[in-house]
């Protein structure tokens, strides 16, 4: 009706195009943090971070980028690595694989980084690993808990694997929940692969899987599933449904009386970020098994120190939590630091050879060491239970747990 | 027997939620001929307002009461500033409203830090009948949906204001010639549709928790509902929403959920192929 006086013309188009072009060329989602000491004789060592700063899992990516900034600053403040400062390059993978590949290519080809840390989802890792490792000839550290089976050379995983999350956790669930398990799951690679392992451990420990079912990733009504759980008198719901579905799912379970009848919720990606999805009463007694919980800080001074440093530098919504790969990022960068020190250079093969058996004595949740030849990381694991909106640690692994991968 | 009642209740409650969400979308689509792709974000804003008010220390129901007015006001402003310019080009309007929705969604994502946040329901717990448990809040949603549906119908069918809306839809030039300000009517209708979305968001946020993609989740279902129901009338989209919501909740009871998800859309496409005008054809109320 009144659209005729705003016809697009050539000049307006060109000026808009020029603006958009500039924004694209400089990259709105990338930034560089240069070391603040300029007296270095040699060039800085370049550390690349490729993580989801925007999009649905931005909360995890931002926490990971924060951890990287913190660790790099710590290393620089202590005099750098091999007498050289570290320079941090952060690229946004935007929770979108096709955007990510382009941005990661920038890290490799334009910035020529010596290491890439990042990726949160498995699909992201699969999308960017070839760009980094094969065509990019660069070292890659993947920091998130995941389904295992990633055995690409020069790709090191520093998050927990199914073995680490299930071997001690599931026997505990059988003892403190019951023998009848339900495996409701989101329909993508992590739940499918994790469930194969979990089922094996459940059955080996005398438990039984009543049903294993997969749902579309955006399903938010679970009445049929809840009914199946209640009518089959399931003892333990070993959940791999992810947000947004998990909130309504746990709420419907609660309303159907699952917890009141003594049912136990279990979910191995649940950390401090996910606690707020439900009211505390709806997930009372939920058990999780991860490499770190904030509840560890009173008993572990090293964890307390790292947590305090993070909270001081980055107060706000992006938490230092295991489920968002923040602990894996910390561990990965520190292990890499040790490896570079041992190798005495940043050459990929030399660092990879040293990283293969790298160890750190201090990390979130305890020490960590790479298993030689496996490119996966041994670490301590903790079982925690949600009580009144907080976690309480109720079991700790004896020493470091083997990832059992590759 | 118990199972059957539980199933019926759950299916009906999800149907009611979809109807509630689609109501505003349907009114804007039918009464103005605009497919508002920002409708999902109005739902999100309703949820967000509820959260903000609750977070500031007020009881949840206060937030729920404020949400429709806040979102309605924003809808009014947006109609004045942006949507108004698109009436002549409905296809461009889709893109324009989509862009608006994108902006709102990403702003909210920034504000809540991309997290999933729970908002408690004013009436929690469940009503127990024997071994069956019915969520109290879902019961409340069913009741409010029925009330909102009835009063929207009365507003459009029985009041002078409703008459003007329908007149402006059916023959804008004649309406203007008769002294009706179609501009003002369009503004009010859009605001009303937005307010309904705000109310829907406020009511469903305790069920689904607050997250940036809350509205997006319902947008596609909403449009399928409008298509199945038929554009042009009030009853059409509501009927469509009832059908789509019920199907989406009922199918997972009988077939694997991954297939059910797709099947809803397949059925909708097949239906529209054979009855392109939708369930309710014709214009008006």
DSSP-assigned states of every residue in A309-364 = HHHHH--SS----GGGTHHHHHHHHHHHHHHHHHHSS--HHHHHHHHTT-EES--T
Q: Which of B113, B116, B252 sits opposite A243 (nearest CB)?
A: B116
Mean pLDDT of chain B: 91
Q: Is the peptide bond before A244 cis (omega within 30 degrees of 0)?
A: yes
- Quick check: B127 contacting A, CB < 8 Å? no
CB contact set of A228 (below 8 Å; sequence gap of 6+): A182, A211, A213
Task: Sort B218 into a burial class: Cβ within 10 Å, 0-12 / 13-18 / 19+.
Answer: buried
Rg (alpha carbons) of chain B, rounded to whole number: 19
A vs B, Cβ pairs < 8 A, gives 119
Q: Which CATH superfamily is domain A28-159+307-312+320-375 in?
A: Response regulator (3.40.50.2300)
Angle between helices B2-32 and B136-158 (to 10 degrees): 30
Chain B CB contacts of A273 under 8 Å are 115
- Residue to test with chain A: of B3, B133, B221, B254, most A Cβ within 10 A: B133
pLDDT at A25: 43
Listed as ranges, residues in chain B with pLDDT below 50 are none
Report pLDDT for A332. Answer: 97
Q: Please give the pLDDT value at position A16.
A: 52
Q: Residue B249 is nearest to which of A1, A223, A318, comparing CB atoms?
A: A223
Residue A218 is predicted with a pLDDT of 86
User: Shortest CB distance from A276 goes to which of B11, B85, B118?
Assistant: B118
Write out the two tokens for B129.
């009948």
CB of A159 closer than 8 Å to CB of A325: yes
Nearest chain A Cα to B220, which residue? A218
- How close does chain B come to A306, measured CA to CA in Å? 22
Task: Give the CA diameter of chain B.
Answer: 63
Q: A227 and B10 in contact by Cβ < 8 A? A: yes
Angular region, A348: left φ>0, alpha ψ -120 to 50, beta rest? alpha
User: Using DSSP, how many helices (H) and how many strands (E) does chain A show?
Assistant: 12, 16
Other Cβ atoms within 10 Å of B152 Cβ, number: 21
Q: What is the pLDDT of residue A24?
A: 45
CA angle A240, A241, A245 (to 5 degrees): 165
**Whole-number pLDDT of residue A36:** 64
Helices (H) and strands (E) in chain B, counts: 11, 2
Chain B residues near residue A187 by CB distance under 8 angstroms: 258
Which chain B residues are closer than 8 Å to A318 by Cβ? 113
Residue in B208, B249, B258 nearest the CB of A244:
B208
Closest to B258 (Cβ–Cβ): which among A59, A216, A221?
A216
For residue A167, count other CB atoms closer than 10 A to its CB.
20
Distance CA A7, CA A12 (A): 10
- B88 part of contact set with chain A, CB < 8 Å: yes
CATH code that applies to domain A163-290+383-396:
3.40.50.2300
pTM: 0.88
Within 10 A of A97 (CB to CB), how many other CB atoms are there? 16
* Cα separation, B240 vs B271, whole angstroms: 11
With CA atoms as reference, the chain A residue closest to B136 would be: A255
Question: In angstroms, rounded to a whole number, what is the distance separating the alpha carbons of residues A79 and A144?
Answer: 29
- N residues, chain A: 406
Decide: A245 and A220 in contact? Cβ < 8 Å.
yes
Query: Helix or strand or coil: residue A113?
Result: coil
Q: Do A2 and B85 touch (CB under 8 A)?
A: yes
Point out which residues pair with A184 in neighbouring strands.
Answer: A213
Most A-contacting residue of B4, B11, B40, B116 (CB-CB within 10 A), to test interface: B116
Q: Which of B209, B249, B256 sits opposite A247 (nearest CB)?
A: B209
Instruction: Round to whole Å and give the CA distance between B66 and A313.
Output: 37
Three-class SS of residue A214? strand
Picking from B5, B8, B114 by the largest number of A CB atoms within 10 A of its own CB, the best residue to mutate is B114
CA–CA gap between residue B276 and residue B226 (Å, rounded): 12
Q: CA of B198 to nearest chain A CA: how many angstroms apart?
A: 19
> A20, A251, A267: which to substitute to probe chain B, counting the most B Cβ within 10 Å?
A251
Longest CA–CA span in chain A (Å) reads 75
In chain A, residues under CATH classification 3.40.50.2300 are: 28-159+307-312+320-375, 163-290+383-396
Mode of pairing for the β-strands spanning A368-370 and A382-387: unpaired
What letters, b where the CB count within 10 A reaches 16 and e where it falls short, cover A107-117?
Answer: bbeebebbbbb
Cβ of B253 and A227 within 8 Å? yes
Is B265 an 8 Å CB contact of chain A? no
Which residue, A158, A166, A123, A160, is CA-closest to A140?
A158
DSSP, collapsed to helix, strand or coil, labels residue B185 as helix
List % helix, strand, coil for chain A (3-state, nearest 5): 40, 20, 40
Query: What is the rounded distance in angstroms from the CA atom of residue A348 to the CA atom of residue A134?
Result: 12
Q: Is B87 on the interface with A (CB under 8 A)?
A: yes
Domains of chain B and CATH, by start: 2-113+132-274 (1.10.3470)
Closest alpha carbon within chain B to A246? B208
Residue owning tokens 């459009």: B156
Per-residue pLDDT of chain A (406 residues; tens, 9 = 90+): 444 444 445 555 555 554 444 444 444 456 677 766 555 557 899 999 999 998 888 889 999 999 999 999 999 999 999 999 999 999 999 989 999 999 999 999 999 999 999 999 999 999 999 999 999 999 999 999 999 999 999 999 999 999 999 999 999 999 999 999 999 999 999 999 999 999 999 999 999 999 999 999 888 899 999 999 999 999 999 999 998 899 999 999 999 999 999 999 999 999 998 998 999 999 999 999 999 999 999 999 999 999 999 999 999 888 999 999 999 999 999 999 999 999 999 999 999 999 999 999 999 999 999 999 999 999 999 999 999 999 999 999 999 999 999 8
* pLDDT, position B166: 87
């Amino acid at each position: 009706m009144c659209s005729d006086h705003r016809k697009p013309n050539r000049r307006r188009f060109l000026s808009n195009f020029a603006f958009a072009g500039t924004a694209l060329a400089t990259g709105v989602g990338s930034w560089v943090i240069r070391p603040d000491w300029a007296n270095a004789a040699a060039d800085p060592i370049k550390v690349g971070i490729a993580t989801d700063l925007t999009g649905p899992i931005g909360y995890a990516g931002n926490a990971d980028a924060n951890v990287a900034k913190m660790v790099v600053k710590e290393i620089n403040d202590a005099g750098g690595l091999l007498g050289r400062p570290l320079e941090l390059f952060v690229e946004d993978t935007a929770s979108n694989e096709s955007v990510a590949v382009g941005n990661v290519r920038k890290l490799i080809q334009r910035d020529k980084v010596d290491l890439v840390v990042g990726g949160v989802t498995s699909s992201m890792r699969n999308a960017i690993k070839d760009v980094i490792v094969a065509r990019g000839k660069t070292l890659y550290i993947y920091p998130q808990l995941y389904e295992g089976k990633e055995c690409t050379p020069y790709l090191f995983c520093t998050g927990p694997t199914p073995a680490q999350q299930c071997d001690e956790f599931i026997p505990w669930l059988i003892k403190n929940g019951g023998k009848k398990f339900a495996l409701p799951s989101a329909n993508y690679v992590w739940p499918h692969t994790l469930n194969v392992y979990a089922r094996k451990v459940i059955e080996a420990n005398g438990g039984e899987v009543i049903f294993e079912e997969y749902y579309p990733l955006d399903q938010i009504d679970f009445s049929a599933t809840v009914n199946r759980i209640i009518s089959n008198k399931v003892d333990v719901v070993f959940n791999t449904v992810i947000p947004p579905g998990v909130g309504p799912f746990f709420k419907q379970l609660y309303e159907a009386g699952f917890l009141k009848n003594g049912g136990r919720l279990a979910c191995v990606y649940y950390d401090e970020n996910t606690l707020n999805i439900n009211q505390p009463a709806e997930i009372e007694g939920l058990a999780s098994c991860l490499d770190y919980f904030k509840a560890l800080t009173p008993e572990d001074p090293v964890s307390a120190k790292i947590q305090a440093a993070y909270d001081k530098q980055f107060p706000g919504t992006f938490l230092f939590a295991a489920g968002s790969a923040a602990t894996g990022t910390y561990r990965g960068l520190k292990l890499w630091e040790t490896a570079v020190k041992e190798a005495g250079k940043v050459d990929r093969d030399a660092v990879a050879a040293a990283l293969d058996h790298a160890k750190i004595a201090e990390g979130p949740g305890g020490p960590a060491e790479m298993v030689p030849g496996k490119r996966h990381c041994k670490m301590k694991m903790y079982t925690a239970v949600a009580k009144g909106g907080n976690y309480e640690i109720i079991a700790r692994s004896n020493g470091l747990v083997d990832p059992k991968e590759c | 027997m118990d199972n059957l009642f539980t199933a019926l209740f759950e299916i009906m409650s999800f149907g009611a939620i979809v109807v509630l969400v689609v109501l505003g979308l349907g009114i804007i689509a039918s009464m103005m001929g605009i497919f508002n792709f920002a409708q999902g974000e109005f739902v999100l804003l309703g949820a967000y307002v509820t959260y903000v008010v609750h977070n500031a220390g007020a009881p949840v129901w206060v937030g729920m009461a404020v949400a429709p007015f806040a979102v309605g006001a924003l809808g009014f402003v947006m109609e004045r500033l942006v949507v108004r310019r698109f009436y002549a080009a409905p296809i461009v309007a889709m893109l324009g409203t989509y862009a608006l929705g994108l902006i709102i969604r990403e702003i909210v994502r920034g504000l809540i830090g991309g997290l999933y946040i729970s908002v408690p329901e004013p009436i929690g717990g469940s009503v127990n009948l024997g071994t069956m448990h019915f969520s109290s809040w879902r019961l409340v949603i069913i009741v409010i949906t029925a009330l909102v549906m009835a009063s929207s119908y009365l507003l459009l069918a029985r009041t002078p204001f409703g008459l003007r809306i329908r007149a402006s839809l059916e023959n804008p030039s004649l309406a203007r010639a008769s002294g009706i300000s179609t501009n003002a009517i369009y503004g009010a209708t859009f605001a009303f549709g937005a307010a309904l979305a705000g109310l829907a968001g406020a009511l469903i946020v305790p069920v689904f928790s607050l997250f940036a993609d809350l509205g997006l989740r319902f947008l596609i279902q909403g449009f399928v509902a409008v298509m199945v129901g038929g554009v042009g009338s009030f009853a059409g989209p509501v009927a469509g929403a009832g059908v789509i919501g019920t199907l989406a909740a009922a199918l997972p009871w009988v077939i694997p959920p991954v297939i059910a998800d797709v099947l809803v859309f397949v059925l909708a496409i097949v239906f529209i192929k054979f009855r392109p005008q939708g369930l309710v054809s014709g214009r008006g109320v």
